Amino acid sequence: MGQLKDQISQEIITAMKAKDKIRLNVLRYLKKLFIENDTSNKPIEEMDIVISYAKKIKESLSMFPEGSDQFNEVLAEVKILDEYLPKALTEEEVVALINDIKANHAAPNLGVIMKELSPQIKGRFDGKLATDLIKKALS
């Protein structure tokens, strides 16, 4: 059993006692995803589960009008999930990573840099934006 799953289980109890319904729903769903992963043929890292779930939730924000009850509820869920995600990287930090990778290759290209950069930024920075930054660094 993973550390993150244990932590989530403990926090479910805390959220139940606090009667924090939104937090409780997010944590219970996360725990369900962890359990499904544990019984999966190809289990993935717990952090990857959180990253994937957070991405889906963030994407669903666009389905609701800004300021509506649903929008605010989804936004609250995003904030709860952010607590479990690795610290986000700034654009400057990603540019520095790109430049380091570029310096270590004789003939750097988008594929080479992205292959090395992806694991370092996973869940911490937008992949499309990273691609644009790489293109800019190579031009």
Give me the phi and psi of 85, to 5 degrees please.
Answer: -85, 155
pLDDT mean across residues, the chain: 91
Alpha carbon 111 to chain centroid distance?
Answer: 22
Q: What is the mean pLDDT of residues 130-136?
A: 93
DSSP state letter for 63: G
For the segment(s) 3-82, the CATH number from 1.10.3720.10, 3.30.70.141, 3.20.20.10, 1.10.1510.10 is 1.10.1510.10
Q: How confident is the model at residue 88 (pLDDT cuts 50, 70, 90)?
A: confident
Distance (Å, whole) CA 108 – CA 55:
29
Q: How confident is the model at residue 87 (pLDDT cuts 50, 70, 90)?
A: confident
For the segment(s) 91-138, the CATH number from 1.10.10, 1.10.3470, 1.10.238, 2.30.30 is 1.10.10
Give the pLDDT score at 97: 94
Report how many helices (DSSP H) and strands (DSSP E) the chain contains, helices first: 7, 0
Distance (Å, whole) CA 96 – CA 130:
12
Q: How confident is the model at residue 126 (pLDDT cuts 50, 70, 90)?
A: confident
Q: How confident is the model at residue 139 (pLDDT cuts 50, 70, 90)?
A: confident
Does residue 61 carry a pLDDT above 80?
yes
| DSSP E strand stretches across 1-139 | none
Please answer whether residues 31 and 50 qualify as being in contact, where contact means their C-beta atoms are separated by less than 8 angstroms: no
